[in-house]
Amino acid sequence: MGKLRRARALALAIVVALALALSTSRARAQEDDPWFGRDKALHFTVSASLAVVAYAGASLKTDDRPTRVAAAITFALGAGLLKEAWDLTGHGDASWRDLTWDVVGTTTGVLVAYAIDWAMSRLRGPGAASPVPPTGH
């Protein structure tokens, strides 16, 4: 089994375990967890920021946009999943709504980073040299 396949299997196992834990945990009541609370804005902002930073970091290593997108999603959403897992251990209140805002923030951050990347490549033009040297992988 290749490294990528093992990583995907591990990620899926973590998501399934978190989903089961959230569904059986003493997750806070919905009336105590508003969709538009201050903490939701923090989940959105942090996830979006992490996605943009991860996309930019990946652009230093590869010209491949799908790889950049995958790195950004993995990093930002992974942080959100880890935060909810931490909350499940008694350090906070695990919430599907928090996780939803993590997904929305991650998606927004990736789309903003991708749009900036696309616009910059259009400004450089089709014959412009890439600022990233090929890695040979």
From residue 134, alpha-carbon distances to 60, 62, 64, 92, 103 in Å are: 10, 7, 10, 44, 31
46 — pLDDT class (breaks 50, 70, 90): very high
pLDDT tens digits, 92-128: 999 999 999 999 999 999 999 999 999 999 998 775 5
3-state SS class at 35: coil
3-state SS class at 134: coil
Question: Contacts for 62-68 with beta carbons within 8 Å, 24 or more apart?
Answer: 62/132, 62/135, 63/130, 63/132, 63/134, 65/114, 65/117, 68/113, 68/114, 68/117
Q: What is the pLDDT of residue 124?
A: 86
Q: What is the pLDDT of residue 35?
A: 93
pLDDT tens digits, 60-75: 999 999 999 999 999 9
pLDDT tens digits, 16-29: 666 655 555 444 45
pLDDT tens digits, 27-45: 445 568 899 989 999 999 9
